[in-house]
Amino acid sequence: MSDQGSADGAAVGVLEPGAPSFISYDPAGGGEVATFPETSAEQVRAVVGEARQAFAWWSGLTWAEREQRLRKWAGAITRGLDDLCELMHRENGKPRGDAFLEAFLAIEHIGWAAGHARKVLHPRRVGTGLLMANHAATLEYQPLGVVGVIGPWNYPVFTPMGSIAYALAAGNAVVFKPSEYTTAIGKWIVDAFDQANPDAPHQVLRLITGTGPTGAALCESGVDKIAFTGSARTGRKVMAACAPSLTPVLMECGGKDAMIVAGDADLAKAADAALWGAMSNAGQTCVGIERVYVVDAVKDKFVTELTAQIQKLALAPGEGPDAAYGPMTMPSQIDVVRRHIDDAIAKGGTVVVGGSGAVRAPYVEPTVLLDTPEDSSAVREETFGPTITVKGVRDVEEAIQLANATDYGLGASVFARRGGTAIARRLRSGMTSVNAVIAFAGIPGLPFGGVGESGFGRIHGADGLREFTRPKAITRRRYSTPFEPATFARHPKTFTIMKKYAETRYGRKK
């Protein structure tokens, strides 16, 4: 991060004695990872001002020049993967393998965004219709300016990258505030951009470190859009802070994803997917599977399969090479998980694996809850832990109805040998994988985002590029005709001709 001055005299990104700061910790051992300054509102505004100058330079580059710089960045991250994964393991707690998968996917997204920006956004001719045939019409997607990105801690590389890479590829400058739990990781990503582009005259990707108030200050700093990823609760605060200035927002919020297992599903594969979808990353996955609805006819077999597969999970807490998952990253989430398990049991749910004793901070062992009532918090609220509820249903119809009976709508999964895509279509979610779990996140061309409490707007794919642009419509009169409609000097027959046209085109009775 640059050592730039700000209006209040303090250097941005530099720890000043006595100035507000915060510490990020290793969630497994509790050791300190790093201390960062709490960036003040005034400093945030100064950084955004500098980013605006960087935007003037960056948006003036050609598509190819931006692509080249983004690819250099992807190269630097790739070459530094061992370092990055080690840091992710340390600051977030996830096993190195999970860190690698996350970082690999993020690199793929940089490549996709860089390689597709021109094709998706560059000026294109649009048909004019008969009335305006003497005009040429062009549509282009222009960058917004400075985009503020506020990130979460659970996927500290992959998730913000869905906004950062796409916003940069579209020609914007970015000011990034990572989660206070994973700030060292955020700084690593930003530093890699600068190291890969030492000749850049401006820093087009800027880091600001801080907790909630710094995020709030970014919302009020005059940025041209906020791309927020986090809880719906904080998302509401972000929207409220952006409302006075009509700053547009992208909301990537939580989920309560369901898996439907049909009677003809491959149960071993469904159980494997449910397990990975629910337990990987210690269940701290926005598109993690939290609920399974399985058709009664195969429920017992599915539960037996799931239980057998859980026994094979090596839960060597975080450190071992075979560790399935690590500690809970955010200490306060452990209480939420405990509350959900206890509530499920109190309301009559059956513990198949784990249960109340599974919560042993900072770890939570896998927990499977059977036939938990639909009004329990384990079914209604985002748990964000390695737990899963399994409920038997009459048929796929009932499964769809229950899967959709949530305020969230982020991802979903369907296991069925026949008709899986038709079921997927009827699920109220932004993304659904058939006979797989979370597959959509690994396909950069697909948009990613939710409905309802899960938010709105899209990262990834062509929609993710357009999300960070404004469509600009341009017309150019190529020649004049005697029948121009938009002039007081209109030919008296203009409307007669237009009426004839409308009657011929639309007025005939079928």
Residue 289 touches ligand NAD, criterion: CB under 6 A: no
Kindly give the residue spans of alpha helices, DSSP state H, lying in 80-182. Answer: 81-92, 96-121, 158-169
d(CA 176, CA 186) in angstroms, rounded, equals: 8
**Coil, strand, or helix at residue 150?**
strand
Nearer to ligand NAD by C-beta: 54 or 287? 287
Cα angle 185-45-222, degrees, rounded to a multiple of 5: 105
Longest dimension (CA), the chain: 86
Q: Of 67, 252, 365, 453, which is the active-site residue? A: 252
Residue 350: strand pairing partners:
370
- Kindly give the pairing relationship between strand 359-360 and strand 363-364: antiparallel
When asked if residue 161 is in the footprint of ligand NAD (CB under 6 A), the reply is: no
Check residue 24 for interaction with ligand NAD (CB under 6 A). Answer: no
CB atoms within 10 A of CB 379: 25
Q: Does 36 bind ligand NAD (CB under 6 A)?
A: no
Which residue minimizes CB distance to ligand NAD? 215
The b/e string for 165-185 (b: 16+ C-beta within 10 A; e otherwise) is: bbbbbbbbbbbbbbbbbbbbb
In terms of CB distance, is 180 or 194 closer to ligand NAD? 180
Closer residue to ligand NAD in complex, CB, 438/462:
438
Residue 234 binds ligand NAD (CB under 6 A): yes
Which residue stretch of 69-77, 149-157, 266-274, 354-362 sits at the interface with ligand NAD (rule: CB under 6 A)?
Answer: 149-157
For residue 252, indicate whether it is catalytic.
yes
Distance in angstroms (rounded) separating the CA atoms of residues 272 and 305? 8
Contacts of 153 (CB under 8 A, 6+ apart): 92, 178, 179, 180, 181, 182, 329, 330
φ/ψ region of 123 (left if φ > 0, alpha if ψ in -120 to 50, else beta) reads beta
Which one of the spans 153-161, 270-278, 357-365, 477-485 is the region binding ligand NAD (CB under 6 A)? 153-161
Question: Which residues lie below 8 Å from residue 427, measured CB to CB, with a gap of 6+?
Answer: 258, 260, 400, 403, 404, 412, 414
**Catalytic, out of 219, 286, 381, 453:** 286
Task: Pick one of 410, 414, 423, 438: the residue that binds ligand NAD (CB under 6 A).
Answer: 410
Would the CA dihedral through 309, 310, 312, 318 be positive or negative? positive
Q: Binding mask 429-468 vs ligand NAD (x if CB under 6 A, - otherwise)?
A: ---------------------x----x-------------
Please list the residues that pair with 443 across neighbouring strands: none
Q: Does 106 bind ligand NAD (CB under 6 A)?
A: no
Nearest to 367 by CA among 354, 378, 381, 376: 354
Q: Does 253 bind ligand NAD (CB under 6 A)?
A: yes
Residue from 216, 313, 393, 438 touching ligand NAD (CB under 6 A): that is 216
Looking only at residues 319 through 338 of this chain, which bind ligand NAD when binding is defined by CB under 6 A?
A: 330
Cβ neighbour number for residue 14 with a 10 Å cutoff: 13
DSSP code at position 60: T
Instruction: Decide: is 238 part of the binding site for ligand NAD (CB under 6 A).
Output: yes
User: Is 253 annotated in the active site?
Assistant: no
Q: Which of 224, 305, 343, 382 binds ligand NAD (CB under 6 A)?
A: 382
Question: How many residues sit in the footprint of ligand NAD (CB under 6 A)?
Answer: 32
Q: DSSP for 100-123, please give it.
A: HHHHHHHHHHHHHHHHHHHHHHS-
Q: Give Cα separations from 239 to 247, 255, 460, 464 (angstroms).
A: 9, 18, 22, 20
Q: Does 409 bind ligand NAD (CB under 6 A)?
A: no
The reply on whether position 153 binds ligand NAD by CB under 6 A is yes
Q: Does 152 bind ligand NAD (CB under 6 A)?
A: yes
221 binds ligand NAD (CB under 6 A): no
For residue 375, what are its two tokens? 């009004």
Asked if 305 interacts with ligand NAD (CB under 6 A), we say: no
The yes or no reply on residue 211 touching ligand NAD (CB under 6 A) is yes
Q: How many CB atoms lie within 10 A of CB 394?
A: 10
Q: For the CB of residue 205, give the shortest distance to ligand NAD in the complex, in Å.
A: 16
- Contact between 154 and ligand NAD per CB under 6 A: yes
Residue closer to ligand NAD by CB (options 144, 226) is 226
Q: Which is nearer to ligand NAD, 137 or 239 (CB)?
A: 239
Contact between 25 and ligand NAD (CB under 6 A)?
A: no
Q: Which stretch binds ligand NAD (CB under 6 A): 214-222, 336-344, 389-397, 490-498?
A: 214-222
Binding site for ligand NAD (CB under 6 A): 150-155, 159, 177, 179-180, 211-212, 215-216, 219, 229-231, 234, 237-238, 241, 252-255, 286, 330, 382, 410, 450, 455
Point out the residues that are catalytic. 252, 286
